[in-house]
Chains A and B, each alone.
Chain A
Amino acid sequence: KVQGPVEFPGAEAAQARRKQREEWERELAADDSDKSGRIVNGRRIRKVLVLGSGGLSIGQAGEFDYSGSQAIKALKEEGIYTVLINPNIATIQTSKGLADKCYFLPVTPDCVRKVILHERPDGIYCTFGGQTALNIGVKLRDEFEGLGVQVLGTPIETIMVTEDRELFAAAMAEINEKCAKSHAASSIDEAVVAANDIGYPLIIRAAYALGGLGSGFASNEEELVALCRKAFAASPQVLVERSMKGWKEIEYEVVRDSVDNCITVCNMENFDPLGIHTGDSIVVAPSQTLSDEDYQMLRTTAVNVIRHLGVVGECNIQYALNPHSREYSIIEVNARLSRSSALASKATGYPLAFVAAKLGLGIPLNEIRNSVTRETTACFEPSLDYVVVKIPRWDLKKFDRVSKNLSSAMKSVGEVMAIGRTFEETMQEAIRSVDTSFDGFSRNSYVAETKEAIEEELTKPTDLRVFAIANAFHMGYTVEEIHLLTAIDRWFLCKLRGLVETERQLQAFAADQRIPRDLLCYAKQQGFSDAGIAHFTKRNEMQVRNTRTGYGIRPFVKQIDTVAAEFPAHTNYLYITYNASEHDVEFVDNGVMVLGSGVYRIGSSVEFDWCAVRAIRTLRENQFKTIMVNYNPETVSTDYDEADRLYFSNITLERIMDIYEAESSAGVIISMGGQAPNNIALALHRNKVKIFGTSPENIDGAENRYKFSRMLDQIGVDQPQWRELTQYEDAETFCDEVGYPVLVRPSYVLSGAAMNVVSTSTDLKTYLNQAATMSRDYPVVIT
């Protein structure tokens, strides 16, 4: 058994490195006697400035809190004094006990310069704070030298090459790698020459034209000339580009150290083909439809490109891959931590940000230990024995006049990740995680079952495409038809088609008929939830659960260990699956469960991650065993080293009950996760789950508008006239009685979602039909 990095006395290069280090030590010995910190490029690094990402925005959320926190942890482990700049108070990285010093200042060139002058750090990291921090690095690059600060990790020059399309294309040409080719042409003849150089099919874009006017696809010269005639009428210049519509989008996460060791940690395949921003795409890891030849071709390219660019640390490379050949094209390289890296990190168990920070200090990859197995090196490529699906969450409903169509600009505000051992199971769990109202991949009311609506949705995707696919299958569309409309790979569609069959089989059972064991078991293995099955078979969730547990069908707990069980690992990173026959772990801890915040939404964000992490830390300080449950990959709470056990799982009644029972947990803390755990509080309480903190009955008293208003009446607090209603007709009568305008509020919602002021009866009708569905379970209060 090997403890720690393996020493290789024979390695000439390693010996040369050691000699260099000793030389630096000697040189530096004269001017200081303090031997702390690490020497990077002949300079001693003791104090490091880490730039945070500042306020959250769409496309830049919790993932940078995660990466910054990991970086600070890594630096502290190396005995380095850390200074952080981040004005976002809702983050873990700014909380006490992590960074040695934290400045709540805007991440702007002026503030950063001031902090550098005041603190005089030896090094700075610009790659852990998203685009914000990166831009600071680019702006201040000439000043760093004069300020006595060394840029650690990827050099600024490399970042500039990856950010500039032209420089990037030139750099790729140097190593004979292919980028998407693009030519500008100012006449039809020029366009034809460019077209022959690039090859058909092509996309023609008119330059300086608004909203894609005069753009189109050409698959031969005739079409090209016709398109150009139109385009030149509107614009003096056209851009001729290779059309990669319908190509597969593949990503690799790559790590490289300062001595040129280079590995790919994870590869991911987009469910949605090229055309939708990868942040807005459903992503599957590892890739599912690539052969070894495809996989290794892209992997080798990734390694060559990253070596050529000279990245030190972590980066992400995206490809377009022709689904009918081995042809590929590099779309872009992100030379920093990104949302994809947070996802890859959680999907594989490989702590990317942590390792990237250490690499920035000049530590070679094979001298860093794999902190998951504790017995193997960090210089390896994780092997997954499960499948991961990521689905973004959009909150487009909360914005007026925003196009719901997805395209090349990212619109999602958060994402969910699900882990399982079949694609069906994982996909369904992910869909449910996006919003508690979703049953999974099943017939739904989100997309109308008409040819027009379905085909519109399939060809021009919005956030509802996956539901349109489900309904299309139910309407009788074939895999081939949907493939032609969406260009989604047939493999994914075939798998999803199977779910439709199971749903139909389940529907054959009326409320009073017992579901046979085999079918129920099969449905659970395909990832249908108890609630979903209850819905198809017209009974309630608890009836299904009782039938299921009566049959002895329970899920199994498996570990994520980065090595597919090849070596023993001490990992506490767990997921739940029905596609297994034994548990990986024993349940002896009786730990306290803390429910996380779930997906980030507008109105529920990193602040609940902060709450959950602080709760876990406090419990651990008080010697309690802890169990964290969350499914959001952009969080610190899903870091494997925060809790004693981490369940990467959906937060629903079914899952929490399963974990609670399996773990024989001492109790559940629900108050740290915001609205998501609050919504299941009462149900958990009714199922005799021990809940710490405010009793769910009291939570209900505050959340339920009726109970809350009744209580105000009882204790004599003034309030506007109100009534709780479950029927539209009653609502209308009440409104006429009190007079418009009225305030309409559903119960159990987040920061006023679906709350609205209504001033006419027509508005009331539209509003109650669209935004808030009235039901017996969740009535609406009108004031």
Chain B
Amino acid sequence: MPILAALTKTTAATAPLAKRVAPSTVIKARSLASAIEKPVSAHYCYPVATGSQTAHLQLRSGETFTGGSFGAPVSTVGETVFTTSLVGYPESMTDPSYRGQLLVFTQPLVGNYGVPGRARDAFGLLRHFESEKIQCRGIVVGDYATKYSHWNAVESLSQWCEREGVPAITGVDTRALVHILRGQGSTLGSLNVGQTATTPEAIEWVDPNADNLVAQASTDSVRVFNPDGDVHIALIDCGAKYNIIRSLCEQGARVSLVPWNHNIVGELGSFDGIFISNGPGSPTHCTETIEQLRQAYAVYQRPIFGICMGNQLMGLAAGMNAYKLRFGNRGHNQPAVDLTTGRCVITSQNHGYALDDSRMPTSWDRFYVNANDGSNEGIRHLEKPFRSVQFHPEAKGGPLDTSHLFAEFIDQVRAMKAAGVPIIADSSIGGVAKQSASATA
């Protein structure tokens, strides 16, 4: 495996070399380090287009990438992650799942179609974005297009980033960067704008994953969308993308967006269905949500559905374990096989953790499996209408192959409501509701 060998060599050689690069040489070195003559350098340089400021991307593991700055001229620290998607930067950047992260685009040409305006749809949601603001802390691209061209664009990517105070760097060999990230998993990075690269020691490394990112991304209070809907869905907001809300509303549901730690168990009786959204960071911060779900499983008889983070929370609540994937699944091209039909669908994904489905809890089965690495892509309950998927059926960006899951969910909710299936199993209504009510009181 020559690539892996080369990779380990790179990372091993990097730390001491990085220190040797004096800040003064960094400014002038608008060059390409030639790997034919010199050993692989830890300093990746790039000439900067005239007129733009120099920017540096420094990884905690020691590598430095030099390029040109665009967007806001500020510095930031975040977890460096990548996406292999070909299109969809406005959607990805406003996706709350990328909160606290420096987002690397493997497609080198970014910014081509500008940024669309802030039009809102009938439900009051931004039509072209997945949340109100840019969620990632910074972006890293190969070749930023200073001039954009699209009928729907109102400003350039740089103007948008600048307005929202998000820094960006262009002129980075993103493929070399992905080689490093792929090998070492979660890597903190520092994006600083200015003439000199600082030494790794001088950077104040703050791991965004130490915070509860879900709590930051979640809504503070209950918000109701499409109040005239005929079925009432509780959408637990771990950092929900707007298109999840929209997809449910478009199916005719009344959606109550509730905070991640909302006492849902106390109100179970008023919901015809429960939906758990995607969200940033590690699922282990959401013990409160997991506990709520565990209690709901015991008594709730109507459909529950989870997406991404929701899948992990539902699995953890069912008694499964989560682990960190060797290579995370990030892109719009991930194949997932539906185990109930054998069909393979192409999905949009962005996750570094997965459920361990080697042993399933009683009454639970695998729902979807990744056709590339065999990792879990979804689980389902064998008797109750509880299902979840690891990928993003709401897409934005990504393929729309699985958007039917929303229709199926709402159809099921509607059918069970029409059939008069009691929301809560009779035997335990009092017990759980009272218990949790007293717990919160």
The answer to whether B372 touches A2 (Cβ under 8 A) is yes
Q: B343 interface residue, CB < 8 Å from A? A: yes
The interface residues of chain A lying within 8 Å CB-to-CB of B331 are 383, 564, 566
User: Chain A residues in contact with chain B, CB under 8 A?
Assistant: 1-2, 5-6, 8, 10-15, 17, 259-261, 263, 286-293, 295-296, 299-300, 303, 323-325, 364-366, 375-377, 379-387, 421-423, 489-491, 494-495, 517-518, 521-522, 525, 551-554, 556, 558-559, 563-570, 578-586, 661-662
Report the minimum CB–CB distance from B373 to chain A (whole Å).
6
The interface residues of chain A lying within 8 Å CB-to-CB of B85 are 383
User: Chain B residues in contact with chain A, CB under 8 A?
Assistant: 1-6, 10, 30-37, 40-41, 44-47, 49, 65, 82, 84-88, 90-91, 106-109, 112-113, 116, 128, 142-143, 145-152, 173-176, 178-179, 182, 327, 329-335, 337-344, 346, 365-366, 369, 371-374, 395-401
**Most A-side CB within 10 Å, residue of B82, B87, B106, B116:** B87
The answer to whether B173 touches A13 (Cβ under 8 A) is no
The answer to whether B35 touches A582 (Cβ under 8 A) is yes
| Residue from the list B109, B113, B343 in contact with A261, Cβ < 8 A | B343
The answer to whether A385 touches B399 (Cβ under 8 A) is no
The interface residues of chain A lying within 8 Å CB-to-CB of B32 are 521, 552-554, 556, 578, 580-581
Q: Which residue on B lies nearest to A325, using beta carbons? A: B151
The answer to whether A263 touches B346 (Cβ under 8 A) is yes
Measured between alpha carbons, how far is A2 from B41 in the docked complex, in Å?
33
The answer to whether A566 touches B339 (Cβ under 8 A) is no
Q: A423-B109, A565-B106, A582-B44 are in contact. List 7 more A-B contacts (CB 8 A).
A: A6-B369, A291-B152, A379-B344, A385-B175, A387-B108, A494-B146, A552-B31
Q: Which residue on A lies nearest to B331, using beta carbons? A: A383
| Residue from the list B1, B334, B396 in contact with A568, Cβ < 8 A | B1
The answer to whether A518 touches B30 (Cβ under 8 A) is yes
Nearest first, the 9 A-B pairs at minimum CB distance are: A292-B88, A13-B342, A292-B397, A11-B342, A14-B342, A491-B149, A494-B147, A581-B44, A381-B333
- What are 28 inter-chain pairs, A to B, with CB distance below 8 A? A2-B372, A8-B337, A8-B369, A12-B341, A13-B343, A14-B342, A289-B113, A291-B87, A292-B87, A292-B88, A292-B90, A292-B398, A296-B399, A299-B400, A324-B151, A364-B342, A375-B372, A383-B85, A517-B30, A518-B30, A525-B47, A551-B31, A566-B82, A568-B1, A581-B33, A583-B35, A584-B179, A586-B5
The answer to whether B341 touches A13 (Cβ under 8 A) is yes
| Residue from the list A15, A375, A521 in contact with B31, Cβ < 8 A | A521
The interface residues of chain B lying within 8 Å CB-to-CB of A366 are 335, 337, 344, 371
The interface residues of chain A lying within 8 Å CB-to-CB of B338 are 11
The interface residues of chain A lying within 8 Å CB-to-CB of B86 are 286-287, 295, 383-384
Q: Which residue on A lies nearest to B67, using beta carbons? A: A581
| Residue from the list B108, B179, B334 in contact with A565, Cβ < 8 A | B179
The interface residues of chain A lying within 8 Å CB-to-CB of B112 are 288-289, 491
The answer to whether B339 touches A385 (Cβ under 8 A) is no
The answer to whether A10 touches B346 (Cβ under 8 A) is no
**Most A-side CB within 10 Å, residue of B113, B148, B330, B371:** B371
The interface residues of chain B lying within 8 Å CB-to-CB of A14 are 342
The interface residues of chain B lying within 8 Å CB-to-CB of A662 are 36
The answer to whether A289 touches B149 (Cβ under 8 A) is yes
The answer to whether A2 touches B179 (Cβ under 8 A) is no
Number of A-B contacts (CB under 8 A): 260
Q: Which residue on A lies nearest to B7, using beta carbons? A: A568
The interface residues of chain B lying within 8 Å CB-to-CB of A552 are 31-32, 34, 37
Measured between alpha carbons, how far is A162 from B12 in the docked complex, in Å?
57
The interface residues of chain B lying within 8 Å CB-to-CB of A5 are 371
Q: Which residue on A lies nearest to B38, using beta carbons? A: A552
The answer to whether B343 touches A259 (Cβ under 8 A) is yes
Measured between alpha carbons, how far is A581 from B29 in the docked complex, in Å?
13
Report the minimum CB–CB distance from B30 to chain A (whole Å).
5
Report the minimum CB–CB distance from B349 to chain A (whole Å).
11
The interface residues of chain B lying within 8 Å CB-to-CB of A380 are 333-335, 346, 371-372
The answer to whether A11 touches B396 (Cβ under 8 A) is no
The interface residues of chain B lying within 8 Å CB-to-CB of A8 are 337, 339, 342, 369
The answer to whether B2 touches A585 (Cβ under 8 A) is yes
The answer to whether A553 touches B31 (Cβ under 8 A) is yes
Measured between alpha carbons, how far is A386 from B106 in the docked complex, in Å?
8
The answer to whether A489 touches B149 (Cβ under 8 A) is yes
The interface residues of chain B lying within 8 Å CB-to-CB of A293 are 128
The interface residues of chain A lying within 8 Å CB-to-CB of B371 are 5-6, 366, 376-377, 379-380
The answer to whether B344 touches A261 (Cβ under 8 A) is yes
The interface residues of chain B lying within 8 Å CB-to-CB of A570 are 1, 3
The interface residues of chain A lying within 8 Å CB-to-CB of B33 are 581-582
The answer to whether A517 touches B179 (Cβ under 8 A) is no
The answer to whether B335 touches A379 (Cβ under 8 A) is yes
The interface residues of chain B lying within 8 Å CB-to-CB of A581 are 32-33, 41, 44-46, 65, 173, 176
The interface residues of chain A lying within 8 Å CB-to-CB of B90 are 291-292
The answer to whether A566 touches B47 (Cβ under 8 A) is no
The interface residues of chain A lying within 8 Å CB-to-CB of B401 are 300, 303
Measured between alpha carbons, how far is A66 from B182 in the docked complex, in Å?
34
| Residue from the list A260, A365, A379, A387 in contact with B109, Cβ < 8 A | A387
The answer to whether A518 touches B47 (Cβ under 8 A) is yes
Report the minimum CB–CB distance from B32 to chain A (whole Å).
6
The interface residues of chain A lying within 8 Å CB-to-CB of B329 are 566
The interface residues of chain B lying within 8 Å CB-to-CB of A17 are 342
The interface residues of chain A lying within 8 Å CB-to-CB of B334 are 380
The interface residues of chain B lying within 8 Å CB-to-CB of A365 are 344
Q: Which residue on A lies nearest to B183, using beta carbons? A: A568
Q: Which residue on B lies nearest to A661, using beta carbons? A: B36
Report the minimum CB–CB distance from A129 to chain B (whole Å).
29
Measured between alpha carbons, how far is A586 from B6 in the docked complex, in Å?
8
The answer to whether A564 touches B106 (Cβ under 8 A) is yes
Measured between alpha carbons, how far is A288 from B89 in the docked complex, in Å?
13
CB within 8 Å for A384 and B150 given contacts A6-B371, A379-B335, A579-B142: no
Report the minimum CB–CB distance from B342 to chain A (whole Å).
3
The interface residues of chain B lying within 8 Å CB-to-CB of A494 are 145-147, 149
CB within 8 Å for A564 and B107 given contacts A291-B87, A521-B32: yes
Measured between alpha carbons, how far is A649 from B370 in the docked complex, in Å?
35
The answer to whether A565 touches B31 (Cβ under 8 A) is no
The answer to whether B143 touches A580 (Cβ under 8 A) is no
The interface residues of chain B lying within 8 Å CB-to-CB of A584 are 3, 6, 175, 179
CB within 8 Å for A290 and B2 given contacts A518-B47, A582-B173: no
Measured between alpha carbons, how far is A518 from B28 in the docked complex, in Å?
10
The interface residues of chain A lying within 8 Å CB-to-CB of B176 are 580-582
Measured between alpha carbons, how far is A382 from B346 in the docked complex, in Å?
11
Report the minimum CB–CB distance from B179 to chain A (whole Å).
6
The interface residues of chain B lying within 8 Å CB-to-CB of A379 are 335, 344, 346, 371
Q: Which residue on B lies nearest to A288, using beta carbons? A: B112
The answer to whether B36 touches A382 (Cβ under 8 A) is no
Measured between alpha carbons, how far is A291 from B149 in the docked complex, in Å?
10
The interface residues of chain A lying within 8 Å CB-to-CB of B373 are 1-2, 376, 567
The interface residues of chain B lying within 8 Å CB-to-CB of A423 are 109, 143
The interface residues of chain A lying within 8 Å CB-to-CB of B113 are 289-291, 491
Measured between alpha carbons, how far is A229 from B336 in the docked complex, in Å?
59
Q: Which residue on B lies nearest to A491, using beta carbons? A: B149
| Residue from the list A375, A421, A521, A564 in contact with B178, Cβ < 8 A | A564
Measured between alpha carbons, how far is A293 from B365 in the docked complex, in Å?
34
Report the minimum CB–CB distance from A122 to chain B (whole Å).
26
| Residue from the list B175, B332, B339 in contact with A10, Cβ < 8 A | B339
The interface residues of chain A lying within 8 Å CB-to-CB of B174 are 385
The answer to whether A377 touches B44 (Cβ under 8 A) is no
The interface residues of chain A lying within 8 Å CB-to-CB of B44 are 581-582
The interface residues of chain A lying within 8 Å CB-to-CB of B36 are 554, 583, 661-662
Report the minimum CB–CB distance from B17 to chain A (whole Å).
13
| Residue from the list A1, A383, A554 in contact with B34, Cβ < 8 A | A554
Measured between alpha carbons, how far is A504 from B87 in the docked complex, in Å?
33
Measured between alpha carbons, how far is A598 from B293 in the docked complex, in Å?
63
Measured between alpha carbons, how far is A263 from B346 in the docked complex, in Å?
7
The interface residues of chain B lying within 8 Å CB-to-CB of A303 are 401
